[in-house]
Structure 1
Amino acid sequence: MSSADFAAAQQRLQARRQLREQEYRARLSAQRDAQNAQRISTLPYPLNRLGGAGLTLWDTVKGREGTRPAFRVGQVDAELLDEELLELLKGQVGEGLKYYGSHLADEYKPEILLALRAILFKLSIWDHNASYGAALQGLRYTDARTPDPSRPAPKRWQKSVYGLITVGGRYAWAKWEDWLIARTSDYELPSARVRLAERVSNALSSAHALAAFASFLVFLTNGRYRTLLDRALGLRLTPTSAAISREVSFEYLNRQLVWHAFTEFLLFLLPLVGVARWRRILARTWRRAKAFFTGARGASPAADDDDPFVGKAGELGFLPERTCAICYADQNPAGGASEQQMLAQSATGGGGSGVIGSAATDVTNPYQAVPCGCVYCFVCLAQKIEAEEGEGWTCLRCGDVVTACRPWDGDVIVEQQASAGAGARPTSSGSGNGGKTVGFAALGGEDERRSLRQVSPAPTLDEKEAEVRGIISADAGAEESLLGSRALAESEEWARASRIVQEDEGSSTSSGSEDEQSEEIDEEEEEFEYDQ
C-alpha cells in the first residue's frame, strides 16, 4: 500500500470515529433530557416551573461538588510541604554561610529565598508540572480553562507567569517592604511621598489578604482553585491518575530517614577531614596569588618611610594600638566592608563596638605577636594561634603569619642580643607529638644570668637551733635588766607625782598656777624619757 492510500485510509477511519462519537453524544443528550424532565416533574412547586434552572439550583442546594476526585486536604498538604521544604533549605544555607559570616544569612535573606524559589520552580513545576508537595500527594497542575476531560498540562505562558509572580514578585515585594521600613524608621520625619507609598502598600496588602481569604473560602466549598493566583491563571491541582487512592504513602518518609542518616554521617566525618585547614590553605593561596598579580601590574603604591602605618596590609590595620583587632572583629562582624564603612558603623553604634574608648574592644593583658609585634589580648591571640595547629595565624593588622606570642614590652628600648636565637623556646611548629600548643618567645635571657650571684649553702638544722637559742637567751637577759631599771624609775615618778597632787589640793591657786604645774609635770616626764 502506498503512502497516499494509507493516509486516505486514516482519514476515513477518523471520520467514522467522529461520526460514532457524535451519535453517542446525541444518545447521551437525549437520555439526559429525559432524565431531567422526569426529575423536574418530581421537584417542589416553585422549582418545577423553572425547568433546567430549577434543577441546577436544586443540585446546588442538595449537595456539594468538588471532591471528585481532587480532594481539598491533599492540596492544602501540598502547599504546607512546599513551605516546609523551603524553610529546610533556607536553614541549611544559613548553616553553611555562618562560617563566612554570621550576618550573611540575615543580610541576604531575600536573595537566598529568591535563589531557592527559582531552583525549586525550575526543577518541579517547570519540568514536571507539579511542585514537591503536590508530587508527594499524587497531584499535578492542569489547565482548567479547557473542557477536555483528559486534563491537559498547563501552557508555557501560564507556567512563566506563575513563576514570575511566585518567585520574582515575592522578592520584589520583600525588597519594597524593606525599603519602606528603612525610610520610615529613621529619626527624621519621612517625606510625603514615602508616607503615601506606605499607605498604598498597606492598602494593597489588606486587599490581597481579603481576596485570598475569599478565594480560600470558595476553595473549601468546591475544591477547584487553591490560591488566588491559581484562580486567576486557571490552574488546578488534579490527580495524576483517575484511580487515585487516599491512602498516605510513607515512601517520602523512608527517603527522609535515609537522608537524615546521611547528613548525620557527614556531620561526624567533616571534623575528621579538616575543613578549616583546607579553608585556610585556600585562603592563603588566594592572598598570595592576588598579591602576585597586583605586584606584576605595578599597582602597589610606593612606601613612605615617614608614615608609621606603612606596611599595615591587614584588613584591620587602621585600628589604633589600644584596640584589640580580634575583639573588634568579633564585636563588628562586617565581613567585606571597607575601612570607611567599618568606621562609620562603629561611630554610629550600628550594633557593634566603637574603635576608641570601648571596654569591649580595648586590649586586656597585652601580648605582642611574633614576629610582626602587633599587640592583642593574650587570650584572643593564644586562641587564634592554638586553633591554627602550628601552621601560623594571619595577623589582622599587618597580614604577617604569626606563629608565637610574647608579653608586650611597652615600647621599652632594649639592647639587641648578639645571637637572635639564644634562649628562645621552641614553638608549636616544632612539636613532635602533634598536640595543640602555643609557643612564647623568651626575653632577656642573658640579663637574667648576669643578675644571678653566688650564695652560701643553706645551714644545717643543728647550727640553726644553736643560733636561735643564743639569740633568745641574750634577748631575755637584756629584757630583764631593762624591766628592773624601768620599774625603779616608774616608782620614783609616781612618788613625785603624788607629792605634786597633794600640794595642789592644799593650796587654792588660780588657773595660771595650774598651767604652770602641768607644764612642770610635762617637763619632768620629758626629762625622765630622755634619761631612759
Structure 2
Amino acid sequence: MSDFAAAQQRILARRAARDAQLAAQATVEQNARNAQLLRLPPALRVIAHQTLNAWDVIKSPYGTRPAFRVGQVDAELLDEDLLELLRKQVGEGLKLFGNHLQDDWGAEIALVLQSILWKLAIWDHGASYGASLQGLQYVDARGSDSARRKPPTAWQKISYGLVTVGGRYAWTKWSDYLSNAENGYDEPSPLIRSLSRITTLAGTTHEIAAFTSFLVFLYNGQYRTLTDRLLRLRLLPSSNATSREVSFEYLNRQLVWHAFTEFLLFLLPLVGISRWRRWVARAWKKAKSSITRLRTGTSSAGQDEAEDGQKGELAFLPERTCAICYHDQNPTAGRSEQDVISAGANSGIIGNASTDITNPYEAIPCGCVYCFVCLAQRIEAEEGEGWICLRCGELVKECKPWDGDVLAPQQEAAANGSEDGARSSGRKSIAWADEVVEDEREQMEQMERTMSHLDPIPVDDEQEWEREGQNVVEDEEEEEPN
C-alpha cells in the first residue's frame, strides 16, 4: 500500500509540474501576443485577442481537458433512476394502507427519500451513488492548485442538500399551492395572479440558466449542473488509474434484449403459441397421472383416465352457471374446490347475471351447457383440434343449441271444456329445473297463506246465556215506543 501511495504522489507531482510548465509557456506566448496587438486600435485589439485565444484552444492537443463528461451525465441519470425506483417501491408498499397516500403525500415521500440519499451518499462519502458507480467524486474547485484535490467542505455539502432536496420540495409545494389557488372554484385574487406570473418567470429564467450552464459544461466539462457551478463543486475521477474509455456494455445489453423481444413478437404469432401451450398442458396432465398412478400403486391406467375425464376443473358449478364465464372472472388456479364454493357468495356462482348462461348451447358429445359466444370462441380458438370441457374434461369439437328441460305443466281445463283451456293444457315450456321448483314452492307457500285454518274460540254456557238475555232486553225496549 505504501508503494501504491508513493506512486500516486509521483503521478500527482508530475501532473502538477506539467501544468506549471504549460502555464508558464502560455504566459510567455500571451505576453508576446499582447506586445504585437498593441499596434491595433483598442476595439480591434479586444476582438483579435478573443479570436486568437479561441483558436489556441481549438488547435491545442489537450483541448479543454474535460473530466469525463459522459460519466458525469450518466451519474446524474443513475441518481434519478434510483430515486424513481425507490419511489415506486414505497408507493407499492403504501397501497396496503390506501391508494390515495402516494398521491396525497408524494412530495413528502420524495423529500424523505432524497434526504436519506443525501445523508448516505453526499454527506458520508462526498459522492452520489451514480457518481460512485462511474468512479467519480466531488472536490472543492475553489482553489487554483489542481494537484491537491480537496474534498468538499461541510458548508458546501449542507448547501448542496438544501438546494437539491429542500429547494426542490419547496418549489413543488409552492407550485401545487398556486395551481390549486388558480384552478379552484373561486376566482383567483390579483395577488395570486401576480405570484403565478412571477413564479412562471422564475421557472423560465432557471431553465434558461440551466441550459446555458449545460452548454458550457459540454464545452469544458467542469460543472455539470447549475448548483455545482454556484457551489464550485466538480466531479473528478477518484483514482488516477481510471480509464477514459466509455463503456457501452449496458447499452449493448439493452440493444440485444430489444432485438430479441422484437424477434419473439414477430415469431410467436407464426408458430402458434396456443397450440404449443395445449400440447404442454396435455403432456403435463399425462405425466401427472402417471406419477399419481405410480405413487398409489394402481395398475389400471384406463380406469384412472376415465375417472379424470369424468370430472373437470369446474364440475362443481351449478347447471345455470357458465363455466367459461366463471373461469374468466374468477381464476381458480391454486385454490381448492371447498375454497371456491365457500367464496361463491362473493364470486357469483349462483344468481349472478355476469356468470349465468346466455343463449345456451351444449357441447358435443358431453352435453355440458355453456353460453354460445363463449363456447364458439373456445372451439374456434383451438383450430379444429378440440377444446377440453371445464365440467367433464372431455374433448369438445362441436356444439348445438340446447333443447333444455322440456316441462309440461299440468293445468286444469275449464269445466265447460273451452278451447282456451284445451289449448293451454297442451302447451310446453323450456326452463331451468331449479327455476320451476322455485316457482312451485312459491305457489304452495302462497296457497298455504291464503287458506289458513282457524280454530273456534270456546265460550262458556253462562256467558252465552247472559248475552242472549241482554239481546232480549234490548229487543223489548225497542218495541215499547211502538
Q: Same fold per TM (> 0.5)?
A: no
**Structure label with greater radius of gyration:** 1
The TM-score, its normalising length taken from structure 2, stands at 0.44
TM norm structure 1: 0.40
